[in-house]
Amino acid sequence: MVNTVIFDFDGTLIDTNDVILASWQHTYRHFLGHDVSVEHITKTFGEPLMKTLAREFPDVPPQESAEVYRTYQRKMAADMVKLFPGVVEMLQTVKDRGYKIGIVTSRTKESTMNYLEMFNIGGFFDGLVSCDDTSIHKPNPEPLLMGLEKLGASAEESIMVGDSIFDIKCANNAGVKSVLVDWRVASDNENLSQCQIDYKITAPLELIKVLEEVK
């Protein structure tokens, strides 16, 4: 019986797609002098920021490029970041039905907490694993297993909801049922046939039907 729901954060609960794209383009312009294709950026969605920065700007210390990226994102967040429609209602329903709710994200804890406070949704969650908590990241199962441990849940009792191949592979590797959200921004190169998608939902409240099915 499923009693625990783990969510990815960006692209799943909050719509950071526009601010992430804008922040990356700002960073590329700052260090390389030009924009890159949207497809080049979206294929990195779900990957830890520092890993992407080290690969994309090998001659720049990652902390330096991260400061450029994060400073711009903080500046633009209030105008560009929003909750996906239906997320609050979905979280309230899941909470009211007695499920434990967690977040496993590749975002920093400070940034995640800032957004939880911005949208007043932090009270829905019983645990958080961020990129600060582990040096090993999705699709490795370690962050998800750490989240389950924090919540006192087993893989068999849990389900993970995410928007990227990193999330779904992480769930697969941890032995957790997977839910792919259909409001995500997908890369054309994303090969989801590489992983096992147990459920797909096209709106947040459809998760309730999934939870009823996996009882």
pLDDT in tens, 88-141: 999 999 999 999 999 999 999 999 999 999 999 999 999 999 999 999 999 999
Task: Specify whether 94 is located in the same domain as 169.
Answer: yes
- The verdict on whether 96 is a catalytic residue reads no
Residue 72, domain extent: 17-79
b/e map 53-87, b = 16+ CB within 10 Å: beebbeebebeebbebbbebbeeebeebbebbeeb
In sequence order, the β-bridge partners of residue 181 are 201
Task: Specify whether 113 is located in the same domain as 32.
Answer: no
Task: Specify whether 73 is located in the same domain as 98.
Answer: no
Residue that finishes a domain, picked among 79, 111, 130: 79
Task: Specify whether 105 is located in the same domain as 201.
Answer: yes
**pTM listed for this prediction:** 0.90
Task: Reply yes or no on whether the pLDDT at 188 is more than 90.
Answer: no
Mind listing the pLDDT tens digit for each residue in 54-77?
A: 999 999 999 999 999 999 999 999
Residue that finishes a domain, picked among 38, 55, 79: 79
CATH number at residue 173: 3.40.50.1000
Task: Specify whether 126 is located in the same domain as 51.
Answer: no
What does 122-164 look like in DSSP terms, one character per residue?
GGG-SEEE-TTS-SS-TTSSHHHHHHHHHHT--GGGEEEEESS
Residue that finishes a domain, picked among 57, 79, 101: 79
Task: Specify whether 174 is located in the same domain as 89.
Answer: yes
Task: Specify whether 90 is located in the same domain as 157.
Answer: yes
**What's the number of domains the chain is made of?**
2
Task: Specify whether 109 is located in the same domain as 42.
Answer: no
Task: Specify whether 179 is located in the same domain as 106.
Answer: yes
Q: Which two tokens stand for residue 84?
A: 């996906």
Q: Out of 8, 15, 163, 167, pick the active-site residue.
A: 8
Mind listing the pLDDT tens digit for each residue in 132-157?
A: 999 999 999 999 999 999 999 999 99
Mind listing the pLDDT tens digit for each residue in 1-29?
A: 999 999 999 999 999 999 999 999 999 99
Cis status of the peptide bond prior to 85, with omega within 30 of 0: no
Task: Specify whether 51 is located in the same domain as 101.
Answer: no
CA distances from residue 184 to 8, 13, 79, 138 in whole angstroms, order as listed: 12, 10, 20, 17
